[in-house]
Amino acid sequence: MPMADDKSRKSLEDLDSRLRRVSDRHESRVQGNEERRIARSGVGLAFRIALDIVAGTALGVAIGYGLDYWLGTLPLFLILFLLLGFVAGFMNVYRTLTGQGYAVGYQQKEDAGDKPDDGARGPKG
């Protein structure tokens, strides 16, 4: 049946071109743009900052209290690690706001600026 064959090929070709158009549009969209928008939206950002500070502080207290409990030096390490945890929390916030995003661990700042592809890596960029 040449007619039916022709028809199905035509529809497949049509589908192919339509698929290509969709995928082109998808590729051309600036990748990660939307992710960044979500990650940076007001409430989301505020929640993240609050969470970062609380998580850091809570962990500092936990470590400090644990050390004190173990060594029997009660307020010493608790105070020390409370402060360190608080600073660590702020460090995370600083990283978030300077565009190092979710990345933890030290990164050179020039590094982030040098690599052009960094901007395309979602909230990290």
User: Which residues contribute to the site for other proteins (CB under 8 A)?
Assistant: 12, 15, 31-32, 35, 38-39, 47-48, 51-52, 54-56, 58-60, 63, 81, 84-85, 87-89, 91-92, 101-108, 111, 120-124
Distances, alpha carbon 103 to alpha carbons 17, 31, 67, 122, in Å: 40, 18, 28, 11
Q: How far is the CB of 97 from other proteins (least distance, A)?
A: 15
* Residue 15 or 74 having the CB closest to other proteins: 15
Q: How far is the CB of 81 from other proteins (least distance, A)?
A: 8
Separation of alpha carbons 100 and 61, rounded Å: 26
